[in-house]
């Protein structure tokens, strides 16, 4: 027998929401401990870097367009482009390279 | 008033690339959901209340094998545990006096992307910025799911391929500017990418799921960096 799809969805939604909510509820004070503070300061940079590379290389139809998108994003971000600009131009460069290759 | 409207508008602007990237990912999710036998409503409902790509793909596989509800709960816990780490980091950006409703609402939108963009904003977190991000990215996630279920492979593969890079482009736009002229952050970002590559290539390590790989590498690299290079009080700009 298959379970009820809506119950499955509610179970997964409940678990996922609690994972996100619990730290926000229980960590209400500013952490004073220098080590923990530094750790949490570095978390986003490490997480986002790990998620981006090498996953970006296999995100598109071929490696060349992925490299074009990656390179474009790095250059524009280094020049201080906004999130929107960096993201859209990276998409465009993937599109153009895939038209050529 | 402008303390709410302006951050909300900024959130919407920064949320557009998230929405485009979400559209590409959830479009694929919609196609798979249809193949797994979900109706369009069920698929969109799942997207609306979960907002988690790996978790939702995992759920489809479980529903296909008639898993128990406990298995479903444990799988989601494991796949999505990284959000716990992100919420810990985000909790420190909240004003100490921020009320409960804001915490409950912001929690709903803790995704890789919304977290990444909001946590790297200078200064304290303004919940309305997060609401702005959520008010475009959640519809993008739901719309992509819907289009994937109903239209299948109609959307040209080229468009999906190009949009697939949007989220990564955004991550790069978040982490590169603060690293400019900061050798420490640059070093941490490059080491993170190289270790991530190593994890993807080495025989045993490449078996680890993406969610756990993120947790292991984040705890290890941020843990070592915090030990070697503690951040001074003044460096609170994020």
**Of B126, B117, B116, the residue nearest B83 (C-alpha):** B116
Of A35, A48, A73, the CB nearest to B230: A35
Using a CB-CB cut-off of 8 Å, the residues of chain B touching A78 are: 176-177, 180
Residue corresponding to tokens 């709960």: B73
Q: Which residue has the higher pLDDT, A8 or A82?
A: A8
Three-state DSSP class for A32?
Answer: coil
Predicted confidence (pLDDT) at residue B237 exceeds the cutoff of 80: no
Predicted confidence (pLDDT) at residue B208 exceeds the cutoff of 60: yes
B51: left (phi over 0), alpha (psi -120 to 50) or beta: left
Of A16, A51, A59, the CB nearest to B50: A16
Beta carbons of B60 and B36 less than 8 angstroms apart: yes
Report domain extents, chain B: 2-168, 181-238
Quote the ipTM score.
0.88
> Closest approach of chain B CAs to the CA of A48, in angstroms?
6
- Chain B, 149-178: which have a CB under 8 Å from a chain A CB? 157-159, 161-178
The domain tally of chain A equals 1
For a pLDDT cut of 90, what percent of chain B falls above it?
44
Residue of A nearest to B82 (CA): A19
Whether the ω angle into residue B238 lies within 30 degrees of 0, i.e. cis, is no
Name every residue whose Cβ is closer than 8 Å to that of residue A57 and which is 6 or more positions away in sequence: A63, A66, A67, A70
A15 falls within a domain: no
- The residue segments making up the domain with residue A54 are 31-100
> Closest approach of chain A CAs to the CA of B70, in angstroms?
9
The C-alpha atoms of residue B145 and residue B159 are separated, in whole angstroms, by 16
B165 and A90 in contact by Cβ < 8 A? yes
Beta carbons of B112 and A20 less than 8 angstroms apart: no
pLDDT digits (tens, 9 = 90+) for A61-100: 899 999 999 999 999 999 988 878 888 899 899 999 999 8
A42 falls within a domain: yes
Predicted local distance difference test score (pLDDT) of residue B238 = 43
Predicted local distance difference test score (pLDDT) of residue B134 = 96
Task: State whether residue A79 sits within 8 Å of chain B by CB.
Answer: no
A95 falls within a domain: yes
């Amino acid at each position: 027998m298959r379970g009820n799809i809506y119950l499955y969805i509610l179970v997964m939604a409940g678990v996922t929401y609690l994972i996100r909510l619990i730290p926000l509820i229980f960590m209400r004070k500013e952490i004073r401990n220098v080590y923990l503070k530094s750790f949490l300061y570095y978390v986003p940079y490490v997480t986002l870097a790990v998620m981006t590379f090498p996953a970006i290389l296999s995100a598109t139809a071929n490696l060349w367009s992925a490299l074009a998108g990656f390179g474009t994003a790095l250059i524009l971000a280094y020049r201080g482009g906004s999130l929107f600009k960096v993201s859209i131009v990276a998409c465009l460069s993937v599109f153009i390279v895939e038209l050529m290759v | 008033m402008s303390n709410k409207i302006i951050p909300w508008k900024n959130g919407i602007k920064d949320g557009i690339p998230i929405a485009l990237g979400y559209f590409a990912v959830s479009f694929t999710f919609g196609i798979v959901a249809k193949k797994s036998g979900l109706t369009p409503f069920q698929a969109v409902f799942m997207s609306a209340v979960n907002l988690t790509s790996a978790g939702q793909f995992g759920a489809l596989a479980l529903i296909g094998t008639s898993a128990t509800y406990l298995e479903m709960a444990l799988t989601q816990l494991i796949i999505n545990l990284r959000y716990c780490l992100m919420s810990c980091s985000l909790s420190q950006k909240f004003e100490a006096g921020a009320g409960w409703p804001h915490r409950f609402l912001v929690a709903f939108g803790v995704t890789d992307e919304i977290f990444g963009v909001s946590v790297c904003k200078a200064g304290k977190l303004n919940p309305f910025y997060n609401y702005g991000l959520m008010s475009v990215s959640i519809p993008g996630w739901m719309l992509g799911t819907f289009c994937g279920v109903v239209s299948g492979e109609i959307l040209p593969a080229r468009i999906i391929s190009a949009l697939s890079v949007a989220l990564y482009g955004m991550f790069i736009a978040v982490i590169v500017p603060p690293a400019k002229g900061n050798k420490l952050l640059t070093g941490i970002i490059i080491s993170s990418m190289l270790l991530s590559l190593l994890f993807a290539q080495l025989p045993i390590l490449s078996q680890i799921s993406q969610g756990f790989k993120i947790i292991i590498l984040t705890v290890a690299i941020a843990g070592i960096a915090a030990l070697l290079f503690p951040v001074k009080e003044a460096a609170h700009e994020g």
